[in-house]
Amino acid sequence: MNGSSIGSFFITLFNSVKSENLRWKQDKQDEIQALKNTKALEKQSLQAELKKRQAQFEHELAKMKQHYGTDLSMLKAQSEQQLHDYKQYLDSIDQLKTLIQDSYSHLPSAVSLMIHHHAKQMLNQMWECENIQEKLSYEARLIELMTAVHQDTLDLPSEINSDKQQFPKRTLRLIKSD
């Protein structure tokens, strides 16, 4: 084989491969087009499914925002009301201390402060308690203490004529029993 026959062989081989490739493409053109069409349809289907899921997700998210937003608003309102109630209790306990100090001016301030402190502790125990039954029990004890203080101060004027200085007996007895 000489140089021109080698060149001619490669050209023939190249043309033959090129022709075979062209013939294969023509034979498979319908299959290739069908695959392209299937791929395009699957892509459209996936995009439609993605949009559908995104819409569902956005709908669920909106529902959750609304639900939890409402819950949050209710909890805020509840917390504000509880804080208001707690402040009212504290004000009542402060008034209780003033009542004791005014009614029993001869008492050492430590006694009126101790009664005040005890009432505040009872309020805090009631407030921090998770169990409803225990909370009600603390509340009943606090009411009992406040009632005892008021009763002691109401009874005081009738006993003030005596020579001995009076003490809030019911209140101190109640605190001692705790």
Query: Are residues 149 and 114 in contact, defined by beta-carbon separation less than 8 angstroms?
Result: no
Tell me the pLDDT tens digit for each residue of 144-160.
999 999 898 888 765 54
Tell me the pLDDT tens digit for each residue of 102-157.
888 888 889 899 999 999 999 999 999 999 999 999 999 999 999 999 898 888 76
The confidence band for 7, taking pLDDT boundaries of 50, 70 and 90, is confident
Instruction: Using a cut of 0.75, tell me whether the model's pTM lies above it.
Output: no
**Alpha carbon 128 to its chain's center:** 17
Classify burial at 70, counting beta carbons within 10 Å of its beta carbon; exposed 0-12, middle 13-18, buried 19 or more. Answer: exposed
Classify burial at 93, counting beta carbons within 10 Å of its beta carbon; exposed 0-12, middle 13-18, buried 19 or more. Answer: buried
Whether the per-residue pLDDT at 163 is higher than 80: the answer is no
Q: How far, in Å, CA of 15 to CA of 36, rounded?
A: 28
Query: To the nearest whole number, what is the mean pLDDT of the chain?
Result: 87
Look at residue 122 in the predicted model and tell me its pLDDT.
Answer: 92
Query: What is the enclosing helix (H) or strand (E) of 108?
Result: none
Q: How far, in Å, CA of 128 to CA of 96, rounded?
A: 22
